[in-house]
Amino acid sequence: MKRGLIGVLLVVLIVFAIIAGAWLAPWLVQNPGYVMIEIGGWRMQMSLLVLAGSVLLIWLVISMLVGFFKMPGRAMRKMKQASHRRHLNQGLLALSEGNWSGAEQALAKAMRGQSSTAGYLAAARAAQGQSALTRRDQYLALADKPFGKEHFATGLARARLLMGEGDPEQAIGLLEQLHLKKKRHQGVLKLLLQAYQQCDRWHEVRLLIPATEKAGIVDAERATELMRLATARELESAADLASLEQIHKSLPRTVREQTEVAAAFARRALELDQAQANEVVLRRALESQFDEALLNLYAEADPGDVAQRLQFLQRSLKDHSESSALHLALGRLFLIQRDHDQAREHLEIAVRKSPDPAAYAALAQVLDRAGDLEAAIRCYRNALRMEQGRAPEPLPPPSQSQ
């Protein structure tokens, strides 16, 4: 673009000079002027036109001589530039093919002719491909040298190399520094999100998701999915009940009531032997969205809060009487409360509506405690058959099982 502009300006100047010369020529012929130069005892006289022509001629001769003497140097520089481009191209092609040794050799030759940040970064990638970490770090230092400090591009390249080496923990520190410099840089955000996930740092993942959505890395649907995953994993990693409840309270209400989040809270509470802590969380989630997985967790209670859970589930029968999972949950809770008649009633409904290994196993316990051994054995067998992918056998009629 600049060369084209300079060429246009030269053409304009030449045209202007020709027009000016043609306009002034008749006047200069009639009035050639007079110039005298005297140096010591030497004197030279000439017209103004002759002086101007002489100066122009001398300038042209000097320019040609200077250009002639510079020609070898220019030719050498062009040859070096051509060699640099050839080796750089060879190195990049070898790098794309995974030929790490050939790539490093070609790139090293290219850098001897004309160093460049991009070339050193490519050479660092080739060195890492050969597990030559010392040479990799040397190339990275050379890439930073023109800037006098660690440059953003080389920092990002270093982070990518650390991720490729399988060291996400070290890459995180570098990526967080880069993130402070450029909040919406897609490359940094994508690598940081990946590194956090690999290191199971789900709290940081959850906090980073809004930034990745704003930067266009993930759409709204994917952001919601990631938020559910990160929140569930964060809850599952809680060390004790206090930290579990603290994490849960820090979540927005819309997130807390999501099925996956409520289930993760409930499972971790059960693992911590704190079943009573998940009743409120599960109940609110079930009120928001009636889900069979949550019903199964809701039925895993300790004797202290069974009555409260039974009251809620019995109220739910008005709207979900056809739900086999609801009858299974009621049967399991009545079994904990040792109300065998009620437990048997709901479990038989659950088995009839939707045969399930857990329902058969629970019903087998009820029948076993009632002394109906034949039916209990049949239920245990059906639970085993269904776990093996086989169809259950029909149960004996109630009259035969008493």
**Predicted pLDDT at 33:** 66
At 402, is the secondary structure helix, strand, or coil?
A: coil
User: Rounded to whole angstroms, what are the CA distances from 311 to 266, 283, 334, 340?
Assistant: 19, 11, 11, 17
Amino acid present at 205: V
Superfamily holding 304-402: Tetratricopeptide repeat domain (1.25.40.10)
Task: State the Cα–Cα distance between residues 163 and 65, nearest whole angstrom.
Answer: 57
pTM of the predicted structure, to 2 decimals: 0.66
* pLDDT tens digits for range 325-369: 999 999 999 998 889 999 999 999 998 888 889 889 999 999 888
User: Rounded to whole angstroms, what are the CA distances from 89 to 101, 104, 110?
Assistant: 15, 12, 9
User: Rounded to whole angstroms, what are the CA distances from 18 to 4, 21, 52, 293?
Assistant: 21, 5, 15, 92
Find tokens 């609110």 and name the residue: 284
* Residues forming a β-bridge with 45: 36
Rounded to 5°, the CA angle 309-339-291 comes to 35
**Predicted pLDDT at 138:** 87
* CATH number of the 72-149 domain: 1.25.40
User: Which residues of the chain register pLDDT less than 70?
Assistant: 1-4, 7, 10, 17, 20-25, 27-35, 40-41, 45-51, 53, 73, 75, 77, 81, 113, 148-149, 396-402
302: its two tokens: 């300790």
- Ranges of beta strands (E only) in 21-110 are 35-39, 42-46
Amino acid present at 307: A
Nearest-10 crossing angle of helices 168-181, 186-198: 150
Element (H, E) at 33: none
Cα atoms found within 13 Å of the Cα of residue 160, Cβ hemisphere only? 17
| Fold of the domain built from segment(s) 158-218 | 1.25.40
Element (H, E) at 389: none
